[in-house]
């Protein structure tokens, strides 16, 4: 696990301080790789790579990056973990290749030397890498940028007049001093619509995010960044599979996905909330190993938010060494600035990931497995999977009746003032579609609310390039005309995986875990498992059982305590932020809101009104938090603002509940 960065200059462009700029980029993400730093500048001086390394496999100097082939003609800087590295290594050795390390980095490097860009289709894991190929003579030199199938590892790039820059974090790109800090109107508007900045946008105008399952081939004689997609989420359904066969298939893929993610040369454990997804991961860890298992969880003084009893039951069932951390409002006050700085760009989530990652690091872990992705894959959000098709059906019905749309919108706006009804009124103004219904159900601010919130110039500029409904449609694999059965269920699942999961959950998990130099692995987003589950009919995934995610429960039959398997309510790592923002955090909240009102992007009166509505319990905390998260952007430091204090300041609050 690492942080990567690089600069690819335009031909005949000189940058005498290229190495120094690469060092600045590396230092800006030192938290991602505290074990080693590497800088490489090509003989031509046109390409430079940087790397910060968190050593996970092959801790020796042989794993140093950037890494090169024996003749120096191919070089790589890489972030991630390849779980089928052993099989690929055996295949390459059979072809006559010799390995000088035990790292998976060298597997990608030599795999590229043999298979070229097709190596990405052979990789099973999470990755973001850049490869410089100097084998074709000066005019034939190329750079390949690539990102994993599910987009677990981030990769950002900027095409400037000087050349193309790339990095694992936005702050590293800014640290080079070659990229504008001008805010992206579309990125800001997209963020307010969805609660996270939607790919390929970022909060900065000049910086783009490479989408999942994408690569960029760059020819050095004329550098240009044009992403290509090499893999898609499946849209076909296997209607002939039986229920028993489906359960068996999922059970086997789950077990394999967890087992291959247990390879590590450093301490490894798991996040354990007490929910079904994380409990399944821990149970499968026990199935795969007889060795010790360490689990980490958070508890709260507010009983309504605590899942301690469920996490403890699961830890006891597998004989885990269980670490509990009690999180209080005082902890959030202490870490508030560090959390916002770690975000890299604004998000309405991430606080939970920050604290559980901090807890895992304090427990001595360098790698943690997470249950992220289970809800989106197995239908764990009953309201979303059930309500989106219902809203779509309602929109179609109303819009099919002459005059009904105008009457319904007028009635809503006259009689109702809640944000949920405003979303419905906005939805009626657009053609009925599942994407429109999804935005209505899952959006943060409705279109009219965003328009009232941002400066008119920003709204007008964003409208030229960003449409939230079209964005959701594209990410879900298009639109569908039938609103029933497995088509709608699979559509919602794809929308969840490619929007909320990718833009928010994965990105927040990456930056918050790496802020603590922790690698997080997500078995439930294994590409083979994801593809298999997406192809299953909806009736198999639902099966009319009285508890959430029945297919996952069936696949885990006999491996979970009944108290966990048969839970009827869903919680997860939820924080009592609504309570804390009105009390202990009020001072910091007001200071951030004052900063937001001075930025010039938003309408100050609307910001003040949102704060008043939150204080009066009229809106959810996430809407206020979305504005607070914007407060870090104008003055964000080019270098990492995190220091070592956040790693140890609350270590005495972690207690061991030993079930070995």
Across residues 327-351, what is the average pLDDT? Answer: 90
Across residues 428-457, what is the average pLDDT? Answer: 93
Across residues 400-424, what is the average pLDDT? Answer: 76
Around 432, how many Cα atoms within 13 Å sit in the side-chain half-sphere? Answer: 18
Residues linked to residue 322 through DSSP beta bridges, in sequence order = 295, 657
Whether the Cβ atoms of residue 623 and residue 191 lie closer than 8 Å to each other: no
* Residue 307 pLDDT class (50, 70, 90 cuts): confident
Residue 20 has pLDDT above 50, yes or no: yes
Average pLDDT score, the chain: 89
Question: Which CATH code, of 3.40.50.2300, 3.60.20.10, 3.60.15.10, 3.40.640.10, is assigned to 2-229?
Answer: 3.60.20.10
Residue 647 has pLDDT above 60, yes or no: no
* Residue 659 pLDDT class (50, 70, 90 cuts): low
Across residues 386-403, what is the average pLDDT? Answer: 89
* Residue 76 pLDDT class (50, 70, 90 cuts): very high
Give the model's pLDDT for residue 546.
Answer: 63
C-alpha 153/C-alpha 454 separation (Å) is 31
Across residues 219-229, what is the average pLDDT? Answer: 93
Comparing 37-46, 433-442, 644-653, which segment has the lowest mean pLDDT? 644-653
Give the model's pLDDT for residue 634.
Answer: 47
Give the model's pLDDT for residue 633.
Answer: 66
* Residue 590 pLDDT class (50, 70, 90 cuts): confident
Give the model's pLDDT for residue 649.
Answer: 40
Whether the Cβ atoms of residue 63 and residue 53 lie closer than 8 Å to each other: yes
* Residue 658 pLDDT class (50, 70, 90 cuts): low
- Where are the chain's structural domains? 2-229, 252-378+497-565, 382-493, 577-641
Residue 571 has pLDDT above 70, yes or no: no
Give the model's pLDDT for residue 459.
Answer: 96
pLDDT tens per residue across span 247-284: 999 999 999 999 999 988 888 999 998 889 999 999 99
Across residues 102-119, what is the average pLDDT? Answer: 95
Give the model's pLDDT for residue 432.
Answer: 92
**What amino acid positions are annotated as catalytic residues?**
2
C-alpha 289/C-alpha 285 separation (Å) is 6
Q: How far is the CA of 230 from the CAs of 211, 213, 310, in angstroms?
A: 11, 6, 41
Give the model's pLDDT for residue 645.
Answer: 39
Residue 631 has pLDDT above 80, yes or no: no
Give the model's pLDDT for residue 641.
Answer: 30
Residue 393 has pLDDT above 50, yes or no: yes
Residue 138 has pLDDT above 80, yes or no: no
Residue 640 has pLDDT above 90, yes or no: no
Residue 646 has pLDDT above 80, yes or no: no
Whether the Cβ atoms of residue 72 and residue 132 lie closer than 8 Å to each other: no
Across residues 394-416, what is the average pLDDT? Answer: 81
**Full-prediction pTM beyond 0.85?**
yes
Residues linked to residue 3 through DSSP beta bridges, in sequence order = 52
Give the model's pLDDT for residue 642.
Answer: 34
Token pair listed for 646: 């956040």
pLDDT tens per residue across span 58-72: 778 888 989 999 999
Task: Specify the pairing of strand 142-147 against strand 67-68.
Answer: unpaired
C-alpha 185/C-alpha 599 separation (Å) is 13
* Residue 483 pLDDT class (50, 70, 90 cuts): low
Question: Which CATH code, of 3.40.50.620, 3.40.50.720, 3.30.530.20, 1.20.1530.20, is assigned to 252-378+497-565?
Answer: 3.40.50.620
Based on its alpha-carbon atoms, the radius of gyration of the chain, rounded to whole angstroms, reads 24
- Please state, for a pLDDT cut of 70, what percent of the chain lies above it: 90
Whether the Cβ atoms of residue 50 and residue 38 lie closer than 8 Å to each other: yes
Across residues 37-50, what is the average pLDDT? Answer: 94
Residues 6 or more apart in contact with residue 364 via CB below 8 angstroms: 267, 294
Across residues 493-499, what is the average pLDDT? Answer: 95
Enumerate the H helices of 2-137 as residue ranges.
18-28, 85-94, 104-115, 119-122
Q: Return the axis-axis angle of helices 404-415 and 419-428, rounded to nearest 10°.
A: 160
Range picked from 246-250, 347-351, 618-622 for highest mean pLDDT: 246-250
């Amino acid at each position: 696990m690492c942080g990567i960065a690089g600069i690819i200059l335009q031909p005949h462009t000189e940058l005498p301080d290229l190495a120094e700029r690469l060092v600045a980029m590396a230092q800006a993400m030192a938290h991602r790789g505290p074990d080693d730093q590497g800088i490489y500048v090509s003989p031509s001086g046109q390409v430079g790579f940087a790397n910060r390394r968190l050593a996970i496999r092959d801790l020796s100097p042989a794993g140093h990056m950037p890494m090169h082939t024996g003749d120096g003609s191919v070089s790589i800087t890489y972030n991630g973990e390849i779980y089928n590295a052993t099989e690929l290594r055996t295949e390459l050795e059979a072809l006559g290749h010799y390995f000088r390390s035990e790292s998976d980095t060298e597997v990608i490097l030599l795999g590229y030397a043999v298979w070229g860009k097709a190596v990405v289709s052979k990789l099973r894991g999470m990755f973001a890498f850049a490869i410089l190929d100097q084998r074709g003579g000066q005019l034939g030199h190329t750079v390949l940028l690539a990102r994993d199938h599910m987009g677990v590892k981030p990769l950002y790039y900027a095409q400037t007049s000087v050349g193309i820059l790339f990095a694992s974090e936005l702050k590293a790109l800014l640290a080079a001093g070659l990229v504008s800090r001008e805010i992206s109107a579309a990125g800001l508007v997209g963020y307010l619509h969805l609660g996270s900045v939607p790919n390929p946008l970022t909060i900065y105008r000049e910086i783009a995010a490479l989408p999942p399952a994408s690569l960029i081939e760059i020819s050095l004689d004329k550098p240009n960044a044009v992403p290509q997609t090499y893999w898609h989420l499946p849209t076909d359904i296997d209607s002939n599979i039986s229920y028993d066969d489906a359960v068996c298939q999922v059970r086997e893929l789950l077990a394999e996905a967890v087992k291959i993610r247990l390879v590590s040369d450093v301490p490894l454990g798991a996040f354990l909330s007490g929910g079904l997804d994380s409990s399944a991961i821990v149970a499968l860890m026990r199935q795969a190993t007889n060795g010790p298992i360490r689990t980490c969880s958070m508890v709260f003084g507010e009983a309504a938010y605590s899942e301690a009893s469920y996490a403890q039951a699961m830890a006891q069932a597998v004989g885990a060494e269980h670490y509990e951390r009690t999180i209080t409002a005082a902890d959030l006050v202490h870490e508030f600035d560090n959390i916002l700085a770690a975000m890299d760009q604004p998000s309405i989530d991430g606080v939970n990931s920050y604290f559980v990652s901090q807890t895992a690091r304090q427990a001595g872990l360098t790698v943690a497995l997470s249950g992220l992705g289970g809800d989106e894959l197995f239908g764990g959000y009953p309201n979303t999977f059930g309500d989106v098709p219902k809203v779509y059906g309602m929109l179609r019905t109303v819009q099919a009746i002459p005059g009904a749309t105008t009457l319904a919108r007028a009635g809503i706006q006259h009689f109702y003032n809640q944000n949920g009804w405003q979303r419905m009124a906005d939805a009626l103004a657009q053609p009925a579609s599942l994407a429109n219904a999804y935005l209505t159900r899952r959006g943060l601010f409705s279109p009219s609310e965003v328009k009232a919130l941002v400066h008119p110039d920003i709204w007008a500029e964003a409208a030229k390039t960003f449409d939230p409904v079209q964005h959701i449609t594209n990410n879900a694999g298009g639109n569908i005309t039938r609103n029933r059965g497995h088509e709608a269920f699979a559509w919602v699942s794809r929308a969840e995986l490619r929007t909320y999961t990718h833009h928010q959950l994965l990105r927040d998990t990456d930056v918050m875990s790496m802020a603590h130099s922790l690698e997080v692995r997500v078995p439930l987003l294994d590409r083979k498992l994801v593809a298999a589950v997406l192809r299953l009919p909806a009736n198999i995934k639902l099966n009319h059982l009285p508890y959430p995610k029945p297919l996952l429960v069936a696949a885990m039959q006999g491996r979970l305590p009944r108290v966990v398997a048969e839970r009827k309510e869903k919680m997860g790592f939820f924080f009592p932020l609504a309570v804390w923002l009105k009390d202990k955090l009020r001072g910091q909240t007001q200071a951030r809101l004052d900063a937001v009102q001075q930025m010039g992007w938003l309408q100050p009166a609307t910001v003040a009104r949102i704060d008043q509505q939150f204080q009066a319990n009229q809106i959810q905390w996430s809407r206020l938090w979305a504005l607070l998260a914007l407060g870090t952007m104008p003055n964000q430091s080019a270098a990492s603002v995190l220091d070592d204090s956040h790693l140890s300041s609350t270590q005495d609050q972690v207690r061991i509940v030993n079930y070995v």
